[in-house]
Every structure is written in structure tokens, then in C-alpha cells.
Amino acid sequence: MMDITKDIQPLTNFKRNTTELLRQMKETGEPIVLTINGRAELVVQDAGSYQKLLELVDRLEAIAGVRKGLEESKRGEGRPIEDAVREIREDVETRSAE
């Protein structure tokens, strides 16, 4: 969890103490919010934590897509799987023939 006493820093402090703040990010896995003129302007985080964030977003988008599909199915929207499979096969055959 973000600790506002450590994880929100002025940009000038980040410039002066870059090595120490990079070590902190790697140890905690938490990003640092950088302020300019007292306002939050940038977020800096280590590459490993950023990759985890991207993977989490991908999973959440997949879950949202599945939920949307289930809701549409419950409302009777969509089309039978047989029709979709037939269309995909026809598309593949057309592309193979080209």
C-alpha cells in the first residue's frame, strides 16, 4: 500500500536522491508520485511492478469481456456457436485459397 510520507516526493527531491528512491521502489514494489509545484504530475515505478500491472489489466479486461458475453447470452443476444464456427472455417478456407 502506498505510504504518502515516502511515496509522494517533489521532483527536485527525486533528482537529488534518485538512487535511494529507485532502491525504495524496488524494495517495496510501490510507485512514487512526483510533484511539481505541489501538484501530482508524474508516477515513477520499477519495470517489474509495471509489468505486473499490465498483466493485471489484461486479466481484468478478459474477465470483463467474458462477463459481457455471458450477459449478452442471457439476454438472448449473439448467435449460435455453430454459425460462428462455420463462418471462421469459411474465412480460413478463403484465406488459404488466396
Q: Model confidence over 9-55: pLDDT tens digits? A: 999 999 999 999 999 999 998 999 999 999 999 999 999 999 999 99
C-alpha separations of 57 from 21, 33, 52, 79, 97 in Å: 26, 20, 9, 28, 38
**pTM for this prediction:** 0.65
